[in-house]
Structure 1
């Protein structure tokens, strides 16, 4: 920013010098009243011309330096954009990877839950079958015990008759 200010200041100085040069030229074109005054003005004009040339050289140098800075800035911007793009690509790939991992994990979890539900259902069904079979066996046992009791009664009655 200081360089731009310096360029602006130099430009203002150039304008002032141009104005003074024009004034001196107009005075030089006017009829000379005193030869000494003309010589002094010529010396002053020469000094102003030298200062103007020096300022122009400085202005050219500053302009060249400014151009170099602009190129460097543009190069840095390009590098920054490239790095930002690479970062964005990396970030997207990481997000995609994370999303895929989450999806796979969720699918595995869903499969495990489904398998657990199937296993629970199978176990409940097996338990119910076992309970039903146990009840049937108890019923059969009761029937057999009842038949045995009837047979014992009949056998005891038959013994009494004999």
Structure 2
């Protein structure tokens, strides 16, 4: 039997939840420290939730954080070009509980990313407002666009490893 672990990230972090669909192939999310630390935080919450729900034996979980936003401010190119994204962490996890009470786990997770049009009228960078750039879409000079992608990671703490839980 597979149990679902969904962590209400919006409620625990004060961020607004988003639900969207996306697909595509992306690269690692480590290029922006703000974004990477947010992903690591969410993965940690999902793992902790699954570990807390497995009372004994072997348990299988489907993990899902749902959609929410994150800023990208540690990489100047991402800050100027993307600014922020909506992302979702999904995956699967198997937990083994030993008779001694130690947990081992392994699994994979996917980070899906979705970004609509980059700028809001009220935003600005270096005292340059974005409203004129948004108006270009209204006059047919530019088009709105969407950026989609995902990356896949494996993780685990195995019996006898240094980091064994």
- One fold, TM greater than 0.5? no
- Provide TM-score, normalisation by structure 2: 0.22
Q: If you compute each CA radius of gyration, which structure gives the higher value, 1 or 2?
A: 1
- Provide TM-score, normalisation by structure 1: 0.22
